[in-house]
Structures are given as C-alpha cells and as structure tokens.
Structure 1
C-alpha cells in the first residue's frame, strides 16, 4: 500500500512517504525500514493510516553519509571514521594538528592526554584516584590467579572501578573527563607493586615504574618511559580503538568502552607485539648474534617482531624518538646494539625499519622489566586515547558503527536439520 501524504504546517517542508524516501536514498522501501530499526533514520506514523513518513532533512543527510561511505569503500578503505584527534602522513604523526613527537618531548603523559581530550594544555597536571576506587580494583586484581597477564589485570581493574562508580552512566564531557582522570591512576595502582608503592601525587610514569621494575628509577629512564606513554596515547583507528568507538556508539559508559579496547589489545598483532620483540631481543643478547635468531623466525614462517609498519613506509617516528632517548642511557647500550643487529640482519631479507615495538623492547629489557611490561605500557598509554575517541563518538549519532552483513550462506528455505 502506498503511504498517505500527511498534512504539514504552512511554511514547513512536507514529510516524505516511504517510497519517496527510498527514491532519495537510492534503496528499496524495505531498506528504509532497516535504517529505522538500526536507529539511522527516524519515522512517524501517518495519522489514521498504516504507512510512515520521514523528515526530508534527515533523509538527505543520510543520503550524503551513504555517498561518503560509498566513496571511502571505493577508494579501498573498509571503514572510514571522521576524527579530529590523530593524523598520520609522510612518516610523521600529529595530535590535534601538533607534531606528536615534539609534544611528547616537551610535555608529560598527563599533559599530552589532556591536550588530546580537550585541545588545551594543563601544565603540571597529575591524575589521582580516590582510595575507595583503588581498594576495590586492587581486591579484584588480587583475586586473580598468578598466571594472569597484565591485560587480564587491567580489564578486571576497569570493571571493578566501574562497579564502584554509581555515576558511570553520565556521558557528559565533564563527567567522562572526570572518569578518565580517575581511571588511569586506578589501573596503575591496581597492578601488583614490584618496588615500594608510588605516591598518588607522583607522575603516572613513576607510579607505573614501581609496577614493572625492581630497579630504582633514574631520571633518564623515567623520561624515556614517560615519552613512550605519550607517543603511544593514540595512533589512528587501530583495532582496539575501533572496538572502543563501537562500544561508545552503543552508548556504553567510559569504563565499558575502555574494557572493549583492553579485550582487543592482547593480540600478538597489536598490544602484545612489544613482548614478542622483548623476547627476541633477550635471545639475541644470549646468543650473541641476531643472525641465528632471525633465521629461526624466518624458517618458522613468522614475521620479525619490531620491524616495519603499514602506516610508515619509512621510519616509525615513535621508534626514532625513543631510540634517541635510550642512547643517553648507558645501561641500554647492549640492548640497543642487539636491536640494530636485528634490523641489519633482517634487511638482507626485506628492507624494514624498526617500529615502536622494538624501541619499547629495548626500554623494557634494559630496565629489568618482564616481557609483558611492553603490553602494560601500551595499554595504560592507549587508555587516554580510547577515552578521547569515546568522547568523540558520544557526540555522533548513536549506533552509527553498525555495518550491514553481506550474507554468503546457503539460500533459504532449507529443511529443518535432523
């Protein structure tokens, strides 16, 4: 049945019928109702009729979005998401238009996080967490088995902190920023300390050091750790960041969005890559040469961890910045030499530059940290970026991160299985 034309106030634009909306969108009428069911389009029942009507402005806006998404797909991008946070081009990357390497060289991790969240610098800012939030998170983490990994602990700490926060469902910008400034120090404080516990007023880098190394912290190494955190805050739409934006699109609260990111980060192709590079580095130091270690990796059909990055045809600027700081630390010299040996040996097979995972491995291996330390550093650092992306997504239309499936199974009808 054709939808009836509704009455409309004088001077306002007439609402569209289902058929007219479908024509404007270039889809079938049933697809229009699919848009409605997914929350992408609003509808209104025709007074006294069975049809629906649609706001022409909203329909035209959806048509424009569909054209943009189609253009992105045609250009080879499976998914394109507008963001004002991080730009990567010409082997450099920028936070809100500012060179990220230069920003990390001059500002602390907390200051860089604030810049990414708000576009404003807050010199000297530190993050602190209420003891009640820390106590709940620590109890939850302490109940885990000894073999639990760092991401397991961080994920449990995030969930525990969420349960302790009755205001977690407030998605206003100020509320989410308040959550971020509490959640990051809570995650660090919930990890088992190796050294004397850091104080709540310490920078995040110093507090994190006490969770990762049994050695006393020196200023050059702390500076390298703080810079690593700043350089890892955000990096375009990585897999974990996409998971965070999907959760935020469904209006999950900030703790849940961060938990979604932590659930993805454990993969060997993402947050765990630094641990693989750390183990390889230790093996090279033990053997005394990179050649047999690299040969074994290639013989097994594995890629060499810590080398190459699909977003940087040349050198990873994060690795370059970290290596420069590590060269000032005498204790890091053997690990640096091993990293250079790995790169030079692998270059005979494929001319790949070192990426941030190899630089992070030099930092963790030379600081007496376990191989899992790189994953912990990555996760804590990236939590700030995930919050920034969640904030952006909360300002977008709900449930927009809902792609349509392309069914490729057998066509119905089929008989019921026996």
Structure 2
C-alpha cells in the first residue's frame, strides 16, 4: 500500500490474512472463551474496560430487557417470519424497527429526561428531600412543556413493575447507583403528588437510568435495548420454527373476524 493512500481509522476491529483483532487485542487468543458477550458489548460501545460492577449491571439490564411476552415487536417478528420464513433477518429486523416511544424506546427517553434534569445541577443532593425536590421540579417542567414523563406507568404492571426491585438490588450490590438511578427513584416517590396520578416506575425506565450510570452515552441507550431484545425476538422466531405457530393463529383470527364498514362521512366543510 502506498504511503499516500487514505486510511480509515477505527478503535474497533481490523482483520488481515491471518488475524482478527478487536480493540487492539487478538480475538482468538485474548477474547474468545475469556470474556462474556455482555463484557465485550460494553467495551465495543464505550471503548472502556468495564469494572466488575459495571459489567454486572450491564448484564442485568440485558436480561431485564430481553423479552416481555407478546409485545407488538414480538408479534411483528412472528408475523414477518410467517410471511417470509426464508428471511429470518427480516423477521428480526421487523421487531427491532418497532422500538419506539411506547415499546423499547422508553429507556432512552428516560435516560434523556434524567440527564437533562441533572445537567443544570451544580451540586448533587445529599438527602432524600433534596432528590425529591429535584425530581418534582423535573416532573413539573416536563409536564409544563406538554410532554409525558418517561419511565412512569406500564400497560400491564399497574401496581408496580417486578423488575424495579431486582434492578435496584443489583445496582446497589454492585456499587453502581449513581445520579440517574437516584433521581429516577425520587421521581417514583413524588410523581403521584405532582401529577395527581398513581403511576409506578417501569423497568424500561430503570434500565435507562442504570445504563446511564454505568457510562453508556444517552444517544446509544436505545441501541443497548435493541441488543437485548434481539435475543427475545430470536426466541419468538425459534418457537415458530419449532411449530408453535402463534403467528398463523393471529393471522387466521384477524382474517376470520375482519368486517367491512363504510368510511366515516367527511366533516362539514371538507371536500
């Protein structure tokens, strides 16, 4: 290669005829069989070696977000596989593409909300009362702007998301409860008084807070969520492959019960 040929710098992976390296280490000699997938994913995202506590929280979040039953994204993956069984990548992609503000995007939205609330704080609170005051102010400002408070409420777990206690337990044991998790916990304490609604904290929001506390950039939070959910989506597709044809049943049920209705009349003044 001539000395004046352009180069393409990367701190991730490079390969040549005989070797593959990741982050400056030999993939075969230094990484395969010696680090977990979660450990490697954290390093690829941050370019930092995770501490034992960071790695534990990261792995816990991946487990917490892997699957949540027949969500729209899981149904989408199954339905796409039914339509195109030759394209497993299409089925996985269809489920991942559904990650948005209602499903899978909540972790990122919560992380951004918490990061914005913390951005203007010169000195972090040292008491429960101080955290509650900061949380109440953040919730009020969010509502005044006409926006939902992310991380509150769940379509199914109306009386509390069972993942919350487990995630906070791991974070405490690992010494990784930072300002995002502290503020999110405070949001849960003050939300009902500020909003007038009893909305419990949800696991997706806690995952966003936990990831932010272990150094995952806010703009990459949804990517970690999708990484975790990919495993769950693959599990749903695997069930279809094994003969548990939920997608076919859904399709048949909708098709049998579809009924024609006349379109609504145009509103007065419309052409």
Same fold (TM over 0.5): yes
Partner SS for 1:332: coil
Deviation, 1:401, is: 3.6
Query: 1:314 and 1:237 mapped to 2: Cα distance?
Result: 20
Partner SS for 2:182: helix
In the alignment, which of 208, 215, 225 is matched to residue 58 of structure 2? 225
* TM-score of the aligned structures, taking structure 1 as reference length: 0.48
The one-character-per-residue Cα deviations of 1:222-268 (angstroms, maximum 9, x if unpaired) are 11111211222211111110101101222423222111111211x11
Query: 2:158 and 2:237 mapped to 1: Cα distance?
Result: 29
Query: 1:238 and 1:249 mapped to 2: Cα distance?
Result: 17
1:406 aligned partner:
259
* TM-score of the aligned structures, taking structure 2 as reference length: 0.71
2:269 aligned partner:
none
1:80 aligned partner:
none
1:238 aligned partner:
71
1:18 aligned partner:
none
Number of equivalences: 218
Structure 1 unmatched ranges of 5 or more = 1-141, 143-192, 412-418
Deviation, 1:301, is: 3.2
2:178 aligned partner:
333
Partner SS for 2:215: coil
Query: 2:24 and 2:55 mapped to 1: Cα distance?
Result: 16
RCO comparison, higher one (Cα < 8 Å, 6+)? 2
Return the index of the structure with the highest Cα Rg. Answer: 1
Query: 2:39 and 2:182 mapped to 1: Cα distance?
Result: 26
Structure 2 unmatched ranges of 5 or more = 1-7, 9-21, 122-133, 265-271
Deviation, 1:399, is: 4.3
Partner SS for 1:327: helix
Q: Tell me if structure 2 keeps the 8 A contact 1:248–1:390.
A: yes
2:40 aligned partner:
207
1:371 counterpart = 2:205 = no
1:280 aligned partner:
113
Deviation, 1:393, is: 2.1
After TM superposition, list the pairs within 5 Å mapping 1:103-182 onto structure 2: none
